[in-house]
Chain A
Amino acid sequence: GIQVEQSPPDLILQEGANSTLRCNFSDSVNNLQWFHQNPWGQLINLFYIPSGTKQNGRLSATTVATERYSLLYISSSQTTDSGVYFCAVSSNTGKLIFGQGTTLQVKP
């Protein structure tokens, strides 16, 4: 099955800093989603981005499907950005395969 690897596993930032999270996947996909899991456990959908680039406020994402990776950019980070960021992919089966996540801590 598809393998999903995220890096870095942990990230500590000062408030206001920028960061880039990476997701590598081992096969072609028809779905790639980025999620933010907040401290209460809720999975917040950030982007559906199997290819191309999208932006939503301080967040943006780029997926290069031919090279099998996706990047999530967080600019001007805030303490509320803290949590775990997951990348998840699917390849025509519907079910999402999740990476191990990147745990982000933003310090005031």
Chain B
Amino acid sequence: AAGVIQSPRHLIKEKRETATLKCYPIPRHDTVYWYQQGPGQDPQFLISFYEKMQSDKGSIPDRFSAQQFSDYHSELNMSSLELGDSALYFCASSSTTYGADTQYFGPGTRLTVL
């Protein structure tokens, strides 16, 4: 069965640089979620999209922006990177937007900011 695809899997950036993370949801899933997991921490919700519109927003820095495209893939754009942005970034997709269904997680993008 098709799973959530994330690219790249690993990314190394310098401080103040920009990064773009991509997420391709499971086919026919119209809701995408982004989570950030710092070292030794649990995943924290960043932002979600349903039918290409932002549906919810968590503790996402203003330096981050995201969108969902017409083909339902999503991109997380991160600017002015800081050392503290080093984390594992997960994308998840679901067939519902109100939580009452399984969220399937991608393998994650490990971002290292030097």
Residues of A with C-beta under 8 A to B90: 43
A92 at the interface (CB under 8 A from B): yes
- Using an 8 Å CB-CB cutoff, how does the interface string of A27-46 with B read, 1 for contact, 0 for none? 00111010100000111010
Interface size on A, residues (CB 8 A): 25
- Which residue of chain B has its CB nearest to the CB of A50? B100
Give the contacts of B39-66 with A (CB-CB under 8 A). 42-45, 48, 50, 55-56, 58
The A/B interface has a contact count, at CB < 8 Å, of 74
Residues of B with C-beta under 8 A to A30: 98-100
Give the contacts of B52-82 with A (CB-CB under 8 A). 55-56, 58
Residues of A with C-beta under 8 A to B105: 35, 42-43, 45
Which 4 residue pairs across A and B have the least CB separation, nearest first?
A90-B99, A98-B42, A48-B102, A95-B45
Binding site for A on B (CB under 8 A): 31, 33, 35, 37, 42-45, 48, 50, 55-56, 58, 88, 90, 92, 94, 96-105, 107-108, 110
